[in-house]
Every structure is written in structure tokens, then in C-alpha cells.
């Protein structure tokens, strides 16, 4: 896009917090992006600001509001990306964030992104925004897909009927961005329009008129909001609006009387009548502005045909498992040879470090930094390849199908199917998985998902898997790593069931899973998503892991000059080692590796590299000397399950409080130890080790 550019690219404003604060202060216009989940909000946000916010082809990618900046025709503009919501009912955390921001009136104009292929559902939020008097511009996105489905939309007529500008866009191709920004800024200068008055029918309108008249006496509580909108929300029982009038029981009594009269007259409750009125209005809009070449029944889209196979009742789960197995085969088949090259590089680097004249400094660089951080960084190739495969599956729309397929299984087990989406996100990192639980409306479902999300194999565990699977399982290493990912999913489901019948008894909330259309991922987009995740891994290796391995090196050399078996770290390891003896790895090196792995799971490999005092190429031989194949598998299972890393614990604490963070820490430690013991002891009984 030529006119809407990033702050840095357009003006040369230096990056950094101070510059961002200055820009924010200078920005005279604030534009908020609002819309249903998975309609392209994040993509438009990135187009406008030049940011690289994650864009996924599934709902719930944005769970908190994000801010960016752009310059347009010399004008500084703040852009706020709100979480995707279906309406302003404020049932879940992300809906509350979006609604509170809109109600606060901070935005000069709201760009409401609407999926042109699904107008009926998307326009519900549009109508709610217009009813509350929001200053709106509608971005009619995915127009190319709508045309592909035979939909012809009369855009000028739709804008005229809604009373707001409507701009056709194709966000992935950056089409319509210029026109969208121009329309939004023009709208911001013009000010707010009159609120939309949806015709709700004679009976409802009569009650709304009574309530509007009564609200004239409560100006302070109405607080500048359209009286008709407040009356509608009170009538449909909106909890947040009702709280504004808790001090006015007389008004709430009038509301209840109105609702009772409507129920007596129509046989339906007021909320249903209001929703029916909105959908009726939307149906009329669509009828007036949209024509179809063929009906949906007459024409199956390509997405429909693929879904008939991949979401099949019997084939869906085997296809999902097959896709994941192929992903790991791809990762290790291509990543294995590349690991050899990186090992050779760090071996060469270690040789150079050994030549440093100062022996202490040489030991720190060679044994501590290169032996520790290098042990983690050699696994960059398989990690990036895994992220490349996951990004392709996500962007294509398949991962949403995986959640849909698993939804059936989880419902059969009494769990909420929507919970599987945060669990899938946990394959990359557990921290965003914890944050993604905000999309769950029911607090019980949210807490259960939040507690089991750390059981998913995040990227930080992958170096441990690659090291041990490569050392002990040769050509079957891909299958072994696949089994660990599967173990995490199975235990997450089982623990969810246990929590559901013990700690969180109650009915599960109804759930409708949205299936986005399949899209061919762009090469650039897939590479960007791979880099977003991989860069976080590299950054952590250069910060947290670096700090941990230097600490481990220091502790392994104190008292100075003594053999490592007599060092402080060895004493700590000997203290902890008996705990892990029943799991098959009761030696001090494994114990301290697991101990420092609490800080970050990658530190397990880094610590082993440091305490064994070997370079990357020698680490596999070192673990082969200390572990049996059975003990190695038990060790990987424990690494998967025991205490989440400190960043994940912190995320749980932020979302649910210290109590649940402590509970997650305790139960995962017990579960990890128990599963590792079972694997080793049962394996020994079966003669496997």
C-alpha cells in the first residue's frame, strides 16, 4: 500500500518505546478494527501498520487488543486491533475487551471488517455497532472468495441501506486498503452519525418507547449513550448495561414489566424478540443487496468437498493423526542432515574457543556458552522445519478442521470442543495457548483448558526429543517424537475429564465450531509465521538459556579447581537424584538438567551439554553412556509433563491467579513423575530395558 505506511518506513521516526509514545501523542485520529473472528482483521492491521501480527486461518487469533501506527497523507493515525467478536453480548474475556473499548469511545472511527462470503452472520455485529451510534466504516473483505462462490453484492446499495461507507477489500492481496483508509479518515472528520433504529415490530417498539421515555430521568447512568440502544440492551437483559442501573430499582422494575408484557403477548422472551428483529433486518439487507448464481445446495465449494473427507466421522481422526505423523517425518527427514552441519559449525567454534589464552575464559566460552547454548542451537533446523509445517497447516485452514474433528471426541468425553484450539496453539508455545483460553465463555471450561494446556509439547521440548530420539531410536526417531506429542494430547484429555468430574462439575456450554474456507498459503506468509515462532526460540537461547548455562557452568566450577563431581551443582544433583531413580535416570546430571529446565525447557539440553563437558557432537554419545533407551523415553516423557516453565506459570498466574498457578505446578510435577515411573517400571517388566 503506497499511502498507508508504517511509522518507521514513512517518516524515519526511530523505533523504540519513546518514539512510539511520541507518535501516539501526535496521532490525532484513532482507528479501531472490529469484526467477527477470522475475517481478516489481523491481516488488515498488518497491511495498515506494517506490523507482523500473527495471521491464522482459524478463529481466535487475536485475543487481546493490539496497537500500531501509520502515516497517511502526513497525518499520524493510531490503529487498534480488537479481539474478534460475534456480538456485543460480552460473554467471554475477548468480547469484554472489545466491547469496553468501543463503549469507552476512544476510537474516532471503527472499521468493521465483514466477511463478504457470510454476510448474514457478520452483519449482526455491524447492526449492533450502528445501533449504539458508533462512527463506522464497513470493510467488505474477501470479495474475491465471494465472487468465486457466485455471490454478487451491490456495494453502493448496501452502504446506502446501512447509512455508512462500505469499501470492498481483499486483505491478503492488499486490495482496497487505500480506499479504506481514505473513507475511515473522512468519516473521522465528519463525526458520528445518527444511531441506526432497527424496526423490532409493533409490540417491542411500544415497550422501547416506554423505556426511552423513562430513561430521560436517568441521564447520568445513560452517560451519553443513545437512549434507544440502552433501552434495547435493558430489554434483552444485557448484564453490563443493567449494572449501570442497579441503583435505580424503579427503572429495572419497568424493564421487567415490559419483558413480562412481551412474553404474555408473543409467548417469547424479550431477548429472543430483539435477536429475531435484528436477524430479520439483516435478512432484508441481504435480500436487497446480494444475488447468487447458484444456491449453496446446488453448488458445493472445493472447501465443502475436502471437508467431506477430512472431517468425516470415521476418517477425521486417522487423517489428523496421519497429517501429524507426516509432519514429523518431514521435520526429521530434512532436519537430520542439517543438524550435522550445525554440529560441525559449533564443534569448529569450540575448537577456536579452546585456543583462548586465559584458561578460565576459555572454559567459560567453550564448556559453558558453546557447550550449553550451542547444544540448544544445533536443533534450529528441525525446529524451524516443524514451524514451517505447522504454519502451512494453520494458514491452509486445516488446523481448524483438526479442532472440529477432535471436538467430537472431546464432547464424547464430556469436555468442551472449543478447548482444543488453545491446545493446538500450545504446539508452538504454551504461553499464547494460556492466553487463547480467553475465547472460552464458560469459566469452568477456561480453567480446565488452562490447566491442561501445559501438557502439550511446545517447541522448547523439541531439542530434548531430538537429542534423545536421535541418540537411541535411529530411523524411528520421527515416530518416537510423534508418540510424545500424542501422549501430551491423550493426557490433556484425560486430565480434563478428571478435573471436569472433580473440581469443575457442571453443564458444558454449547459450542458451534466455525470452519473457515481452505486457502492456499502464500510462500511469504508461511515463512513469516515460521520466523515469528522460530525467532522467539533463538531469542530465548540468546537470553534465558545463555543466563542458565553460564550459571550452570559457574556452579559446576565452584569450588574452583575441584572435579565437577565435587561441585555445588553436583551436590544439588545428588540431593535430587534419588527422586528420579524409580524413573530410570537417578544420576545427578539428569536431576540438575530437569531442575534448570523449570526456567526454560530448552535449558535441559543446555545444562546436559555443560555438566557433561562435551561439545555438540559428543552430547549424543554422552547421553547414550548414561541412559538406556527405556530410561531415555521416560526422561522425554517427564520433560514433556513436569512443571511448566516459569513463563507459562506466570501466564497462568495472570489469567487465573496464584492458587491455580501453584496447583498447575504441583499436579504436573506429580503427573510427570508418575508417568515416567510407569513407563520405566512397566517397560522393565516387559523386558524392554
Residue 150 and residue 227 in one domain: no
Residue 109 and residue 178 in one domain: yes
pLDDT value of residue 414: 57
Average pLDDT over residues 494-513: 71
Residue 161 and residue 272 in one domain: no
Return the top range by mean pLDDT from 52-56, 439-443, 662-666: 662-666
Residue 173 and residue 238 in one domain: no
Domain boundary at 292, 312, 347, which? 292
- The neighbour count for residue 522, using CB atoms within 10 Å, is 12
Q: State how far the alpha carbon of 279 is from the alpha carbons of 162, 286, 561, in Å.
A: 14, 10, 79
The DSSP code for 5 is B
Q: Which residues lie closer than 8 Å to 552 by C-beta, 6 or more apart?
A: 368, 372, 569, 592, 596, 606, 607, 610, 611
Q: DSSP of 257-305, one letter per residue?
A: HHHHHHHHHHSS-HHHHHHHHHHHHHHHHHHHHEEESS-TTT---HHHH
Instruction: Pull the grid cell for residue 69.
Output: 501506527
**Residue given cell 499464547 in the structure block:** 432
**Residue given cell 574452583 in the structure block:** 560
Residue 8 within a domain: no
The DSSP code for 36 is S
Residue 47 and residue 186 in one domain: yes
pLDDT above 70 as % of the chain: 86
Residue 174 and residue 221 in one domain: no
Contact yes or no for 637/487 (Cβ under 8 A): yes
**Beta bridge pairs of residue 30:** 78
pLDDT value of residue 218: 87
Average pLDDT over residues 226-234: 91
User: What's the whole-number average pLDDT of the chain?
Assistant: 82
558-567's contacts with Cβ under 8 Å and 24+ in sequence apart are 564/611, 564/613
pLDDT value of residue 353: 82
pLDDT band at 510 (very low <50, low <70, confident <90, very high): very low
Q: Does residue 291 have a pLDDT over 90?
A: no
Residue 500 within a domain: no
Domain that holds residue 678: 539-686
Least confident of 364-373, 502-511, 618-627: 502-511
Q: Does residue 64 have a pLDDT over 70?
A: no
Residue 250 and residue 174 in one domain: no
CATH number, residue 186? 3.40.50.300
Q: Does residue 75 have a pLDDT over 70?
A: yes
**Beta bridge pairs of residue 430:** none
Q: Which pairing describes strands 136-141 and 166-168: parallel, antiparallel, or unpaired?
A: parallel
pLDDT band at 689 (very low <50, low <70, confident <90, very high): low
Specify binding-site residues. Answer: 35-42, 46, 49-50, 60-64, 81-84, 141-144
Residue 54 within a domain: yes
pLDDT band at 14 (very low <50, low <70, confident <90, very high): very low
Residue 101 within a domain: yes
Contact yes or no for 584/630 (Cβ under 8 A): yes
pLDDT value of residue 413: 58
Specify burial of residue 361 (Cβ count, 10 A radius: 0-12, 13-18, 19+).
exposed
Cα 121–Cα 127–Cα 131 angle in degrees, nearest 5 = 155
Average pLDDT over residues 497-520: 68
Closest listed residue to residue 659, CA positions, set 450, 408, 514, 439: 450
Residue 554 and residue 652 in one domain: yes
Helix (H, G, I), strand (E, B), or coil: what is residue 307? helix
Q: What is the pTM of this model?
A: 0.60
pLDDT band at 57 (very low <50, low <70, confident <90, very high): very low
Q: Which pairing describes strands 136-141 and 66-72: parallel, antiparallel, or unpaired?
A: unpaired
Buried b (16+ CB within 10 A) or exposed e, 269-304: bbeebbeebbeebbeebeeebbeeeeeeeeeebebe
Number of domains in the chain: 3
Specify binding-site residues for Mg(2+). Answer: 46, 49-50
Domain boundary at 237, 264, 292, which? 292
Residue 41 within a domain: yes
Task: Give phi and psi for 70, each to the nearest 5.
Answer: -150, 160
Average pLDDT over residues 257-277: 86
Q: DSSP of 190-215, one letter per residue?
A: H---PPP-----HHHHHHHHHHHHHH
Q: Does residue 334 have a pLDDT over 60?
A: yes
pLDDT band at 615 (very low <50, low <70, confident <90, very high): low
Average pLDDT over residues 571-599: 92
Specify burial of residue 337 (Cβ count, 10 A radius: 0-12, 13-18, 19+).
exposed
pLDDT value of residue 62: 52
Q: Does residue 607 have a pLDDT over 90?
A: no
Average pLDDT over residues 212-234: 88
Residue 271 and residue 153 in one domain: no
pLDDT value of residue 468: 93
**Residue given cell 569448529 in the structure block:** 348
Closest listed residue to residue 142, CA positions, set 397, 392, 391: 397
Q: Does residue 12 have a pLDDT over 70?
A: no
The DSSP code for 171 is G
Return the top range by mean pLDDT from 2-16, 121-135, 309-323, 493-507: 121-135
Residue 65 and residue 91 in one domain: yes
- The neighbour count for residue 342, using CB atoms within 10 Å, is 17
The DSSP code for 54 is -
Q: State how far the alpha carbon of 46 is from the alpha carbons of 214, 510, 628, in Å.
A: 45, 33, 50
Least confident of 310-319, 527-536, 551-560: 527-536
Per residue in 405-450, pLDDT tens?
A: 777 666 655 556 667 767 777 777 777 778 767 666 677 778 888 8
Closest listed residue to residue 113, CA positions, set 47, 46, 36, 2: 36
Helix (H, G, I), strand (E, B), or coil: what is residue 642? coil
Per residue in 155-204, pLDDT tens?
A: 998 998 898 999 999 988 889 999 999 999 999 888 777 888 888 887 88
Least confident of 167-171, 229-233, 503-507: 503-507
Average pLDDT over residues 389-418: 73
CATH number, residue 210? 1.10.287.1770
Q: Which H or E element spans position 659?
A: helix 658-685
Domain boundary at 190, 221, 252, which? 190
Based on C-alpha coordinates, what's the Rg of the chain? 29
Residue 670 within a domain: yes
Residue 655 within a domain: yes
Q: Does residue 628 have a pLDDT over 90?
A: yes
Residue 174 and residue 233 in one domain: no
Residue 320 within a domain: no
Q: Which H or E element spans position 70?
A: strand 66-72
pLDDT band at 683 (very low <50, low <70, confident <90, very high): very high
Q: State how far the alpha carbon of 367 is from the alpha carbons of 327, 337, 554, 565, 592, in Å.
A: 34, 24, 11, 16, 16
The DSSP code for 173 is G
Contact yes or no for 668/454 (Cβ under 8 A): yes
pLDDT value of residue 503: 84
Closest listed residue to residue 370, CA positions, set 346, 387, 386, 352: 346
Contact yes or no for 208/235 (Cβ under 8 A): yes
Buried b (16+ CB within 10 A) or exposed e, 613-652: bbbbebbbebbeeebbbbbbbbbbbbbbbbbbbebbbebb
Maximum CA extent, the chain: 94
Q: Does residue 640 have a pLDDT over 80?
A: yes
Residue 185 and residue 208 in one domain: no
pLDDT value of residue 11: 38
Between residues 307 and 209, the one the model is more confident about:
209
pLDDT value of residue 7: 38
pLDDT value of residue 10: 35
Contact yes or no for 136/129 (Cβ under 8 A): yes
Contact yes or no for 530/380 (Cβ under 8 A): no
Q: Which residues lie closer than 8 Å to 541 by C-beta, 6 or more apart?
A: 373, 376, 377, 602
Between residues 516 and 85, the one the model is more confident about:
85
Beta strand spans in 97-199 (E) = 109-115, 136-141, 151-153, 166-168
pLDDT above 90 as % of the chain: 25
Between residues 420 and 308, the one the model is more confident about:
308
Specify binding-site residues for GTP. Answer: 35-42, 60-64, 81-84, 141-144
Q: Does residue 513 have a pLDDT over 70?
A: no
Least confident of 161-165, 224-228, 395-399, 439-443: 439-443
Contact yes or no for 381/339 (Cβ under 8 A): yes
pLDDT value of residue 386: 79
Amino acid at each position: 500500500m503506497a499511502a498507508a505506511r508504517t511509522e518507521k518506513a514513512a517518516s524515519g521516526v526511530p523505533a523504540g518505546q519513546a518514539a512510539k509514545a511520541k507518535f501516539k501523542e501526535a496521532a490525532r485520529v484513532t482507528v479501531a478494527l472490529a469484526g467477527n473472528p477470522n475475517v481478516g482483521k489481523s491481516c488488515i492491521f498488518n497491511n495498515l501498520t506494517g506490523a507482523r501480527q500473527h495471521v491464522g486461518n482459524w478463529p481466535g487469533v487475536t485475543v487481546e487488543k493490539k496497537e500500531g501506527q501509520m502515516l497517511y497523507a502526513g497525518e499520524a493515525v493510531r490503529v487498534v486491533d480488537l479481539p474478534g467478536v460475534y456480538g456485543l453480548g460480552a460473554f467471554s474475556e475477548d468480547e469484554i475487551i472489545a466491547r469496553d473499548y468501543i463503549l469507552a469511545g476512544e476510537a474516532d472511527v471503527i472499521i468493521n471488517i465483514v466477511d463478504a462470503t457470510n454476510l448474514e452472520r457478520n452483519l449482526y455485529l455491524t447492526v449492533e455497532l450502528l445501533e449504539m451510534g458508533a462512527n463506522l466504516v464497513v470493510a467488505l473483505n474477501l470479495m474475491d472468495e465471494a465472487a468465486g462462490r457466485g455471490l454478487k453484492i451491490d456495494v453502493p446499495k448496501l452502504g446506502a441501506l446501512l447509512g455508512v461507507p462500505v469499501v470492498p477489500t481483499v486483505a491478503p492481496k492488499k486490495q482496497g486498503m487505500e480506499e479504506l483508509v481514505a473513507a475511515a479518515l473522512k468519516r473521522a472528520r465528519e463525526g458520528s452519525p445518527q444511531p441506526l433504529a432497527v424496526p423490532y415490530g409493533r409490540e417491542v417498539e411500544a415497550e422501547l418507547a416506554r423505556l426511552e421515555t423513562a430513561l430521560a430521568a436517568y441521564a447520568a447512568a445513560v452517560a451519553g449513550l443513545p437512549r434507544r440502544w440502552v433501552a434495547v440492551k435493558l430489554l434483552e437483559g444485557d448484564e453490563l448495561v443493567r449494572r449501570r442501573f442497579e441503583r435505580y430499582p424503579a427503572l429495572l422494575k419497568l424493564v421487567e414489566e415490559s419483558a413480562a408484557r412481551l412474553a404474555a403477548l408473543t409467548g417469547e422472551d424479550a431477548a429472543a424478540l430483539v435477536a429475531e428483529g435484528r436477524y430479520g433486518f439483516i435478512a432484508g439487507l441481504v435480500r436487497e443487496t446480494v444475488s447468487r448464481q447458484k444456491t449453496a445446495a446446488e453448488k458445493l465449494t472445493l472447501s465443502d468437498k475436502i471437508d467431506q473427507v477430512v472431517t468425516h466421522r470415521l476418517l477425521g481422526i486417522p487423517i489428523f493423526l496421519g497429517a501429524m505423523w507426516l509432519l514429523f517425518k518431514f521435520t526429521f527427514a530434512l532436519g537430520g542432515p542439517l543438524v550435522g552441519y550445525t554440529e560441525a559449525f559449533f564443534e569448529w567454534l569450540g575448537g577456536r574457543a579452546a585456543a583462548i589464552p586465559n584458561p578460565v575464559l576459555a572454559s567459560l566460552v567453550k564448556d559453558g556458552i558453546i557447550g550449553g547454548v550451542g547444544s540448544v542451537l544445533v536443533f534450529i533446523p528441525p525446529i524451524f522445519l516443524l514451524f514451517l509445517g505447522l504454519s502451512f497447516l494453520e494458514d491452509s485452514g486445516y488446523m481448524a478442521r483438526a479442532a472440529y474433528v477432535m471436538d467430537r471426541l472431546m464432547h464424547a468425553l464430556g469436555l468442551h470442543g472449543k478447548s482444543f484450539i488453545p491446545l493446538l496453539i500450545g504446539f508452538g508455545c504454551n504461553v499464547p495457548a494460556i492466553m487463547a483460553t480467553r475465547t472460552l465463555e464458560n469459566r469452568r471450561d477456561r480453567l480446565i483448558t488452562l490447566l491442561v494446556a501445559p501438557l502439550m509439547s511446545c517447541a522448547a521440548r523439541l531439542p530434548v526429543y531430538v537429542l534423545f530420539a536421535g541418540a537411541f531410536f535411529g530411523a524411528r526417531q520421527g515416530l518416537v517424537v510423534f508418540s510424545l506429542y500424542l501422549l501430551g494430547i491423550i493426557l490433556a484429555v484425560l486430565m480434563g475429564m478428571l478435573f471436569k468430574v472433580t473440581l469443575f462439575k457442571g453443564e458444558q456450554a454449547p459450542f458451534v465450531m466455525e470452519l473457515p474456507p481452505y486457502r492456499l498459503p502464500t510462500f511469504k506468509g508461511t515463512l513469516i509465521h515460521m520466523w515469528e515462532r522460530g525467532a522467539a526460540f533463538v531469542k530465548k537461547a540468546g537470553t534465558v538459556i545463555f543466563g542458565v548455562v553460564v550459571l550452570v557452568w559457574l556452579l559446576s566450577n565452584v569450588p574452583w579447581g575441584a572435579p565437577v563431581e565435587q561441585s555445588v551443582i553436583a551436590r544439588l544433583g545428588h540431593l535430587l537424584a534419588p527422586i528420579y531413580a524409580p524413573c530410570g535416570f537417578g544420576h545427578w546430571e539428569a536431576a540438575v538438567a530437569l531442575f534448570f529446565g523449570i526456567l526454560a525447557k530448552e535449558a535441559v539440553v543446555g545444562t546436559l551439554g555443560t555438566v557433561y563437558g562435551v561439545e555438540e557432537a559428543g552430547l549424543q554419545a554422552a547421553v547414550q553412556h548414561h541412559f538406556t533407551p527405556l530410561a531415555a523415553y521416560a526422561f522425554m516423557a517427564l520433560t514433556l509433563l513436569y512443571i511448566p516453565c516459569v513463563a507459562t506459570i506466570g501466564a497462568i498466574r495472570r489469567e487465573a491467579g496464584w492458587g491455580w498457578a501453584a496447583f498447575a505446578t504441583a499436579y504436573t510435577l506429580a503427573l510427570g513423575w508418575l508417568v515416567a515411573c510407569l513407563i520405566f517400571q512397566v517397560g522393565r517388566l516387559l523386558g524392554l530395558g
